Structure 1
Amino acid sequence: MTEARVAMIRERLEQAFAPVELEVVDDSHRHRGHPGARDGRGHFQVRIVSPAFAGMSRLARHRAVYEAMGALMQTDIHALNIEAVSENDS
């Protein structure tokens, strides 16, 4: 299931931002027993570099990533650690 979740996250980010660099890490195993993980949703880290983030504040970048995740935030993702940068920031 975790590989499928990582694939879904990657697909949505690739479609929304055409990244030049994208890393998605499933950290769910590190959060077993955590109250937020009891419902089966996962913990993930994302590092994404995209020209789409140029001129955006950090908050705006995070909001854009959450928007791209859509319903996955309610069904598959409990926590999402985001590092979103433009090519000039990396």
Structure 2
Amino acid sequence: MRVAASLRQKLEQSLAPIRLDIRDESARHAGHGAHAGEESHFALVVVSDAFTGKSRVERHRIVHSLLAEELSVGGVHALALTALTPQEDRAA
């Protein structure tokens, strides 16, 4: 399974997001020492009721724990994460 598909599957199964945007930014890092080729740098926007009442740090911990396998050595090198409640997303 491709990395982006794995990210999507795990986040959808665990967080039932109202919105999930996954952007592969790996091409922007070509030539970077840690760029191992394709699917190494991602930007995520996750909007879920699961984040209600959670701090920004708690939200990031939740996502990072779900994606631990992909974030391990040799997997995803960089992850830009925006984790919002539906109310925060509507207000943005």
**TM-score between both structures, scaled by the size of structure 1:** 0.89
Provide the rounded CA distance (Å) in 1 between the counterparts of 2:61 and 2:33: 24
Provide the rounded CA distance (Å) in 1 between the counterparts of 2:56 and 2:38: 29
2:47·2:85 contact (CA, 8 Å) conserved in 1? Answer: yes
User: Could you say which residue in structure 1 is the equivalent of 2:76?
Assistant: 77
Task: For 1:4-83, list aligned pairs within 5 A.
Answer: 4-38=2-36, 42-74=40-72, 75-83=74-82
1:49·1:85 contact (CA, 8 Å) conserved in 2? Answer: yes
One-letter amino acid of the counterpart of residue 36, structure 1: A
2:27·2:38 contact (CA, 8 Å) conserved in 1? Answer: no
Provide the rounded CA distance (Å) in 1 between the counterparts of 2:55 and 2:33: 31
Across the aligned residues of Structure 1 and Structure 2, the Cα RMSD in angstroms comes to 1.7
* Over 4 Å off, 4+ runs: none
Provide the rounded CA distance (Å) in 2 between the counterparts of 1:40 and 1:47: 20
**Structure 1: gaps of 5 or more residues:** none
Q: CA deviation at 1:38?
A: 3.7
One-letter amino acid of the counterpart of residue 82, structure 1: L
Provide the rounded CA distance (Å) in 2 between the counterparts of 1:16 and 1:31: 29
Q: CA deviation at 1:58?
A: 0.6
Provide the rounded CA distance (Å) in 2 between the counterparts of 1:50 and 1:40: 28
Q: How many residues align?
A: 88
Identity percentage over the alignment?
36
**Structure 2: gaps of 5 or more residues:** none
